[in-house]
Amino acid sequence: MEEAAISTSTSSAGTAEPGTEPAVQLEGITKRFPGVVANRDIRLSVRRGHVHAIVGENGAGKSTLMKILYGMQRPDEGEIRVNGAPVHFRTPADAIAAGIGMVHQHFMLADNLTVLENIILGSEPRRFGAGIDFAEARRRIKEISDAYGLGVTPDALVEDLGVGARQRVEILKVLYRGARILILDEPTAVLVPQEVDELFDNLRGLVREGLTIIFISHKLDEVLSVADAITVIRRGTTVASVLPKDVTARRLAELMVGSELPSPETRESTVTSDVALSVHGLTVRGDAGRPIVDGVSFDIHKGEVLGIAGVEGNGQAELVEAIMGMRPAEGVITLGGRDISAWSTLRRREGGIGYIPEDRHRHGLLLDAPLWENRILGHQTRKPNVKGPWIDRAGARADTQRIVEAYDVRTPGIDVIAAALSGGNQQKLIVGREMSGDPVVLIASHPTRGVDVGAQAAIWDHLRSARAAGLAVLLISADLDELIGLSDSLKVILRGRMVADVDPADVTPERLGSAMTGAGGDRDTPAPEQLGPAVTGAGEEA
């Protein structure tokens, strides 16, 4: 019901002054990939001269949508209108011709060329039909740079530029090709806070000059500070269009994640006093000897879910790989009182550590192998998969069938290859596999990333019932509500160090979010109680 009410506000937010067509309008865009619907009935109206933000969680379908708008993918259904006229993009070149330009999250610049050379690459102005007219190019670049206050020096080498300057070069490159509508894909992901501020100043300058900007992000505070209008995508479809003045970050977060969240109040603590996994002084070094994980210590008790919150890339992946024995590390890890620091990955798995990897395609599955062979993966020394040195096909197949039924893996059979399943069903298979063989500890890295709502709820249920049965879980997630909802205790990781302990019963995603960025206080003096009233909303997140 409420969704309908929000959608009504779409029209008010999207309605322009009489006579002005929206710069971009999407109607009922649907895109299916085998086994999964990436976009479903997307509706979007972007007003000219606006910074229009599109927000959503990882895997919500933002990137697919932008690829459709930029001509890299073609929609199965629906209509795209640019400045009121229906368009059909076959390639990005069509989109560029229609005045749409894209600034990718990862820069596409040649380091050893100058700014000017990078900008004109592929669309060089010609002189007498042959030679490149550098003077003309320099003049135009200067003109664009001055008009929008980008401050780009044409003759600097790109390799000498900082990240912010490179991004401005990317923007100028797009403008140089005549774009009037810019798509920026998570432009702040690579920037430090001051650079973010500069970028936002640039963006405001661009829209003042009449350009339109579509800004993709999942950082709510940035969106609220720069956007003129916001559209929220969840599970592949647009769920709301709102104006920043009408919403709070909290409300946006709710719109992004929906209401299918576990509710912490309904559970009783199952934490026992037995320590299942203990990590002490764990340090993982990078290639240069610099610690990526720096002296991390924690205990997980039987029946406890310990959540690790942190902005991605702060050492979570390395921490997990060190615990799994996939990455050399200093420090002591004990499993049920036994020191397993020197154990191989296989022995740790045999010892009772289950592992739901962050990237199921790279670490969790053999995509080309049938499901029953995937059941064996990681359990290839244990019953019912093997008998001595032989693979027990019958046993493995029967147990795969059991997992498929018990974990509701939607598949026509256990002989289809794993790649044919949707992400959610692949993940349910992995969860089922890792829960079998009576694990003592489960390392769950982003267990519900990129899975559909039904699968997410099912996976949460499985994690909760396993916890009630005495399983110790290390939960790493980017979904703060998932972390808060499932965890019995929470730790915040920042630059490889545990900087805060948080009580999940008394924290909001916003406060947790600011603690993750170090904005919650002095990170050198971590104290369990530091996340008190001193934490000021989420305004500092960057």
Partner 1 sequence: MSSSFTDRLLGKVRLGGLLALAAPLLAVVFAGVVTSIILALTGNPPLETLRLLLDYGAQSRTMVNIINLATTYYISALAVAIGFRMNLFNIGVDGQYRLAALVAAAVGGALVLPAPLHVGVTILVAVAVGGLWASIAGLLKVTRGVSEVISTIMLNAIATGLGAWLLTTDRLAVAVSGSNNIGTKPIPPSGQFPGFALIPGTQAKVFGFVVVAALLGVAYYVLFNRTRFGFDMRATGRSESAAVASGVSVKKMVLITMILSGAAAGLVGMPQLLGASYSYSLDFPTGLGFTGIAIALLGRNTPVGIAIGALLWSYLDNSSDILDLEGIPKEIVIIMQGTIVLSVIIAYELVHRYRMAAEQRRVSRQLSAESPSPPGSGPNSGPNFGPDPASDSASEEGAKA
Under 8 Å between Cβ of 147 and 179: no
Rank residues 290 and 362 by Cβ distance to partner 1 and give the closer one: 362
Site membership for partner 1, residue 145 (CB under 8 A):
no
Considering only 511, 515, 516, 521, the residue that binds partner 1 (CB under 8 A) is 511
Contact track, partner 1, 451-480, x by CB under 8 A:
-xxx--x-----------------------
- Residues 329-348 interacting with partner 1 (rule: CB under 8 A): 344-348
Cα dihedral 204, 206, 208, 213 in deg (nearest 10): -80
CB of 146 to partner 1, least distance (A): 32
Fill in the DSSP letter of residue 263. Answer: -
Find the part of the chain contacting partner 1 (CB under 8 A) among 143-151, 269-277, 468-476, 530-538: 530-538
- Residues 370-399 interacting with partner 1 (rule: CB under 8 A): 373, 376-381, 386, 389-391, 393
Considering only 507, 515, 516, 519, the residue that binds partner 1 (CB under 8 A) is 507
Site membership for partner 1, residue 253 (CB under 8 A):
yes
Considering only 104, 204, 251, 495, the residue that binds partner 1 (CB under 8 A) is 251
Considering only 116, 184, 261, 282, the residue that binds partner 1 (CB under 8 A) is 261
Considering only 9, 16, 21, 40, the residue that binds partner 1 (CB under 8 A) is 40
Rank residues 79 and 506 by Cβ distance to partner 1 and give the closer one: 506
Considering only 365, 414, 478, 519, the residue that binds partner 1 (CB under 8 A) is 365
Q: What are φ and ψ of residue 436, in 5° steps? A: -85, 160
Site membership for partner 1, residue 10 (CB under 8 A):
no
- Residues 411-450 interacting with partner 1 (rule: CB under 8 A): 411-412, 416-417, 419-422
Rank residues 228 and 510 by Cβ distance to partner 1 and give the closer one: 510
Fill in the DSSP letter of residue 157. Answer: B
- DSSP alpha helix (H) spans, 209-307: 220-226, 249-257
- DSSP alpha helix (H) spans, 274-315: none
Find the part of the chain contacting partner 1 (CB under 8 A) among 92-100, 302-310, 356-364, 470-478: 356-364
Tokens of 338: 């036994």
Cα dihedral 437, 440, 445, 449 in deg (nearest 10): 50
Rank residues 210 and 532 by Cβ distance to partner 1 and give the closer one: 532
Cα dihedral 39, 368, 474, 336 in deg (nearest 10): 170
Rank residues 287 and 368 by Cβ distance to partner 1 and give the closer one: 368
Residue 101 makes CB contacts below 8 A (sequence gap 6+) with: 95, 174, 175, 177, 179, 181, 182, 183
Find the part of the chain contacting partner 1 (CB under 8 A) among 88-96, 245-253, 304-312, 521-529: 245-253
Distance CA(198)–CA(196), nearest Å, equals 5
- Cβ density class 151-163: b for 16+ within 10 Å, e for less: ebbbeeebeebee
Residue 355 makes CB contacts below 8 A (sequence gap 6+) with: 320, 324, 349, 378, 434, 442, 443, 445
DSSP string, 84-139: TEEE--SSHHHHHHTTEEEE-SS----TTSBHHHHHHTTSPPEETTTEE-HHHHHH
Contact track, partner 1, 183-222, x by CB under 8 A:
-------------------------------------xx-
Considering only 149, 262, 295, 331, the residue that binds partner 1 (CB under 8 A) is 262
Rank residues 20 and 225 by Cβ distance to partner 1 and give the closer one: 225
E strands along 139-228, which residues?
Answer: 181-185, 212-217
CB of 318 to partner 1, least distance (A): 14
Rank residues 145 and 425 by Cβ distance to partner 1 and give the closer one: 425
CB of 425 to partner 1, least distance (A): 9
Q: How many residues bind partner 1 (CB under 8 A)?
A: 91
CB of 277 to partner 1, least distance (A): 17
Distance CA(270)–CA(293), nearest Å, equals 29
Site membership for partner 1, residue 72 (CB under 8 A):
no
Site membership for partner 1, residue 92 (CB under 8 A):
no
Tokens of 156: 């600097």
Rank residues 119 and 252 by Cβ distance to partner 1 and give the closer one: 252
Under 8 Å between Cβ of 168 and 152: yes
Rank residues 67 and 166 by Cβ distance to partner 1 and give the closer one: 67
Distance CA(433)–CA(372), nearest Å, equals 10
- Class of residue 122 by CB neighbours under 10 A (exposed 0-12, middle 13-18, buried 19+): exposed
Considering only 349, 397, 462, 467, the residue that binds partner 1 (CB under 8 A) is 349
Considering only 12, 225, 269, 465, the residue that binds partner 1 (CB under 8 A) is 225
Tokens of 23: 């710069």
Neighbours of 16 (CB within 10 A): 15
CB of 452 to partner 1, least distance (A): 5
Site membership for partner 1, residue 303 (CB under 8 A):
no
Fill in the DSSP letter of residue 375. Answer: H
Under 8 Å between Cβ of 65 and 75: no
Site membership for partner 1, residue 536 (CB under 8 A):
yes
Contact track, partner 1, 487-506, x by CB under 8 A:
-------------------x
